[in-house]
Structure 1
Amino acid sequence: MKGNMRAGMAQGVNLTPQLLQSIRLLQLTAPQLEQELRQALDLNPMLEQEDPAEEADGADDAQAATLEAASWDELPEPAFLSGGGLHGGDGDDATLRIADPASSDPRVRLLQQLALHWDPRDLELAAWWLDHCDDRGYLEQPLADLLAQGADAFPLRAGDVAVVRQRLLHGDWPGMAAADAGECLQAQLSALPESPLRTLAARMLDAHLDLLCVHDDRALAAALHADEAQVRAAVALVLTLRAHPAETPIQADDAHIVPDVVAWHGGGAWRVALNQRGTPRVRIAAHCERALSGNDHPVLRGLLDEARWLVRGLAMRNDTLLRTAQVLVERQRAFLEQGDEAIAPLTLREVADAIGVHESTVSRIVSGKYIQTPRGTLELKRLFAVRLEGAEIAGSAVRAMVKRLIETEPAAAPLADDVIAGLLARQGVRVARRTVAKYRDQLSIGPARARQRQAPRAMAC
């Protein structure tokens, strides 16, 4: 056997304990950081809490933080470090890697599910049908009219338009794209195991929905030629079905929010500061450091090194958070002063370039962090906004414009989505009717027909 040796060079990242600790501190929220520091004070005798009355001299730590922040930029972005997905290409909007709850638009959530197992061509037809559903999941127009419109919109696949609606109706969310409540309930029934009770309930929905609505069990039993006890059981089965096909997202319990940064306007400029309230300020105990001078005891020396790493990593975290918040406030000054319609397009890459770090560092530092402003306490990622395609305006600003137009519309004549799109075009913002419908659904606002029905009740109040 002949052995060979071959020299080579490879580039890698040495994830030292100090660097890993700095990354973890970078991602901690204010409550998590407070818990981390209090635990460190209990476990490491080399640390002590600063007296709030004392003026801490943090110049050295701040300078070191500026010099060492670049070390984060050498890291890859696997999920175990960043908390997000892999780094995308040049056209990737890194803002999308910030953790976000489920979409408030049920159609978006359903399309995300269908994309896992539907053909892209069928998915396009499904999106068209969902675009013509209200926020409950029912068709906004008569079925015959929509079938004709679908044939015109997809002339090469006119025969598949009705087929895709049936797939939606009996798919992941049974009853979606139903023409009425009866069809919705029938679709949900058909998804249940076959049984005599299900057959009786289907007959009830098909021919005697009026008697079901008034809960007349005796009349239902006579009309269906069935036993009254069986009818009551069938009615109970129908009552277990959902009234609307669109599923609502699971809402997380409201939690107490502690802002990480505070922003205010003073002296003609916007200023930011870290919120130190409730978070202990730690430093290395001077008497312990003096006592260890020239002492090589491994355990004590290890505790001292850990204390130094923690203090240095904390300074790096605070410096990066403060500089990031300062850029966000300066870039979104118009939003803070005028409101949602003035929010400017802003991406992670633009902020990263402004403070001289990688965009993955900005993604980590803003994740889960909040800023207190005169406009309320906001998530830092709320100050990012994706640019509307083909325009110099943020999509969230267009959503705010849609909200304003709906709030000021005549109660007796609410604006349809295509009318709103026309009004926006007059202001130089050109969006499709589908885009208006998407933003309206995100705002939990019903279509024009639903708002018109609600108008008399609102006026009576």
Structure 2
Amino acid sequence: MKSSLGLRLGQSLTMTPALQQAIRLLQLSSLDLQQEIEQVLDSNILLERDDDDTAADSADSAAETNSPTSSSSTEDTASGSDDTPSLELREDAEIPAEMPVDADWEDVYDDLPIQPRSSDDDELRDFLEANLRRSMGLHEHLIDQARMAPFTDRQAQIAEYLIDAIDADGYLQSWSDLLQQIHARNGASPEECDAVLALVQDFDPTGVGARDLSECLRLQIEAMPARTPGAFAALKIVDDHLSLLARGDIEALARACNEPVAEVHAALTLIRTLQPHPGRPFQAHESDYITPDVFVAKRSGRWVVSLNPEHTPRLRINSHYQGLIRRADSSRDQQMLKQHLQEARYFLNSLEARNETLLRVAQSIVEEQRAFLDYGPEAMRPLVLRDIAEQLGIHESTVSRATANKYMLTPRGLFELKYFFSSHVQTTGGGVCSATAIQAMIKRMITAENPARPLSDATLSELLLKEGIQVARRTVAKYREGLGIPPSHERKPPV
């Protein structure tokens, strides 16, 4: 076997760290972008929020940022010390005025190192998944406590019946009926059930297993220290005067409880801290709060797109720290400042490129879907990512990143940008119709149907054909299921 040396020429696409950052910022959602900005602000001393309203400071900052001294100082940056991890810089590194974001990540995926997620990101994700998506339910929480309680076998069986009867709010409903059911199952007497219930009511959360609101509040008050201000008067109120409490009649409560008005005020303050529904915190409570990334409004007969200013904070380079940079100084502190300056400019350019790309893509979508904004979902046009990419002269993957997890607020509601893209179906007249428009037609037809004679999928297909849209019954069924509408036999009211 013979070894030899050879020279080979080839072309390959490479991505600078700045371009990698621009692409990564483009595909971030608004929430992830805010977190990214906060992390950069915390780690880079040369970046700061532009919250100063004085024009003089803003002008000074802009002048210092664009000054020859500042520009030349970045050209003299070195690779940096070992303990300043970030972008690797060269002495002849130059920062482009505009940061391109149009590149296909998959083309160079195998050749580029991927920055690992920080441990803070992983810990945050684990916390959210553990506390929001896999939180323990109330019944599971109570069963776990019952297994650790010093119950006899008979008491454990009664406790299981009681816990199973506790509703999602933490209450026991129809106590007398429940006693009869337990007695029929294992012959337990009301006294035995009362004794086990008293033990279950000591479980967490406090107030669980109550048979009414008065008992629920009383259990929580009794669990407090005896010297809690207002506790004695609060017990009187929740036991006998809930109607007066509901009316908020302080003087009537004071007379009924034979307590001073100040004591009643303390009792009311205490009662307001109680949980009338102890089981609520164990219910699925994850909420998705969506704020739009772009706004759409009609001005002078034209649909105009604008970015949400809350998602595009104004950042600038700190003029004080920038003024400390000296071109000829190669000390460790100077290297750190130059490194941070380069990273800050990379980030500002990447953020500006993200906003510009998102605005262009959103404006192009709006121009394509003007009919939807004017007339509704049935006027939605077929649209794919390639159409927007060809219009803007960018890569299709760039459009995909720009529309991922982004939302648009229109006069017709809040929509994800992906909503405006849909496949097309040929019409009998030789044109095309979007799948979204067909779904809107199906929904309209089902809404107007006779409840006694709901429309089948085959009938819907025939009605669509009359409107010039040829769709198979299976396709109608798929669109109907996508709308969450049950089939015709389930929509028919019971006789």
2:316 paired residue number: 283
Which whole-Å deviations, capped at 9, do the CAs of 1:67-125 have from their partners, x for residues lacking one?
A: 542652586275999x9xxxxxxxxxxxxxxxxxxxxxxxxxxxxxxxxxxxxxxxxxx
Q: Secondary structure at the match of 1:72?
A: coil
- How far the C-alpha of 1:66 sits from its partner, in A, is 9.0
The answer to whether 1:50 aligns with 2:50 is: yes
2:492 paired residue number: 452
Distance change in 2, residues 1:373/1:66 (3 Å): farther
State whether residues 72 and 361 of structure 1, in contact with CA within 8 Å, keep that contact through their aligned partners in structure 2: yes
Distance change in 2, residues 1:433/1:419 (3 Å): same
The answer to whether 1:413 aligns with 2:446 is: no
- How far the C-alpha of 1:389 sits from its partner, in A, is 5.2
CA distance in structure 1 between the aligned counterparts of 2:36 and 2:111, rounded to whole angstroms = 19
- How far the C-alpha of 1:447 sits from its partner, in A, is 2.1
The answer to whether 1:403 aligns with 2:443 is: yes
Amino acid at match of 1:273: S
State whether residues 296 and 409 of structure 2, in contact with CA within 8 Å, keep that contact through their aligned partners in structure 1: yes
Amino acid at match of 1:19: L
State whether residues 407 and 417 of structure 2, in contact with CA within 8 Å, keep that contact through their aligned partners in structure 1: yes
1:5 paired residue number: 5
Distance change in 2, residues 1:54/1:31 (3 Å): farther
- C-alpha RMSD of the superposition: 3.2
CA distance in structure 2 between the aligned counterparts of 1:327 and 1:79, rounded to whole angstroms = 32
- How far the C-alpha of 1:336 sits from its partner, in A, is 1.6
Q: Secondary structure at the match of 1:403?
A: helix
Q: Secondary structure at the match of 1:302?
A: helix
Q: Secondary structure at the match of 2:386?
A: helix
CA distance in structure 2 between the aligned counterparts of 1:45 and 1:265, rounded to whole angstroms = 41
State whether residues 65 and 319 of structure 1, in contact with CA within 8 Å, keep that contact through their aligned partners in structure 2: no
CA distance in structure 1 between the aligned counterparts of 2:359 and 2:111, rounded to whole angstroms = 25
Distance change in 2, residues 1:74/1:437 (3 Å): closer
The answer to whether 1:318 aligns with 2:355 is: yes
The answer to whether 1:426 aligns with 2:466 is: yes
Aligned length: 286
Distance change in 2, residues 1:423/1:71 (3 Å): closer
Distance change in 2, residues 1:258/1:359 (3 Å): same
CA distance in structure 1 between the aligned counterparts of 2:106 and 2:394, rounded to whole angstroms = 12
- After TM superposition, the score normalised by the length of structure 1 is 0.56
State whether residues 13 and 108 of structure 2, in contact with CA within 8 Å, keep that contact through their aligned partners in structure 1: no
Amino acid at match of 1:366: T
Distance change in 2, residues 1:321/1:4 (3 Å): same
Distance change in 2, residues 1:27/1:80 (3 Å): farther
CA distance in structure 2 between the aligned counterparts of 1:305 and 1:67, rounded to whole angstroms = 15
- 5+ residue gaps, structure 1, are 84-227, 230-250, 457-461
Q: Secondary structure at the match of 1:326?
A: helix
Within-5 A mapping of 1:140-289: 253-277=286-310, 279-289=312-322
2:380 to 335, 343, 358: 343
2:89 paired residue number: none
2:336 paired residue number: 299
Amino acid at match of 1:304: L
State whether residues 321 and 337 of structure 2, in contact with CA within 8 Å, keep that contact through their aligned partners in structure 1: no
Taking only the aligned residue pairs, the percentage that are identical comes to 40
CA distance in structure 2 between the aligned counterparts of 1:398 and 1:332, rounded to whole angstroms = 15
State whether residues 37 and 282 of structure 1, in contact with CA within 8 Å, keep that contact through their aligned partners in structure 2: no
- How far the C-alpha of 1:288 sits from its partner, in A, is 2.5
Which whole-Å deviations, capped at 9, do the CAs of 1:288-347 have from their partners, x for residues lacking one?
A: 323314244221111111111110110111110010000011111111221111110011
- After TM superposition, the score normalised by the length of structure 2 is 0.53
Distance change in 2, residues 1:356/1:431 (3 Å): same
CA distance in structure 2 between the aligned counterparts of 1:285 and 1:392, rounded to whole angstroms = 54
State whether residues 98 and 349 of structure 2, in contact with CA within 8 Å, keep that contact through their aligned partners in structure 1: no
State whether residues 370 and 380 of structure 1, in contact with CA within 8 Å, keep that contact through their aligned partners in structure 2: yes
Amino acid at match of 2:337: L
1:72 paired residue number: 103
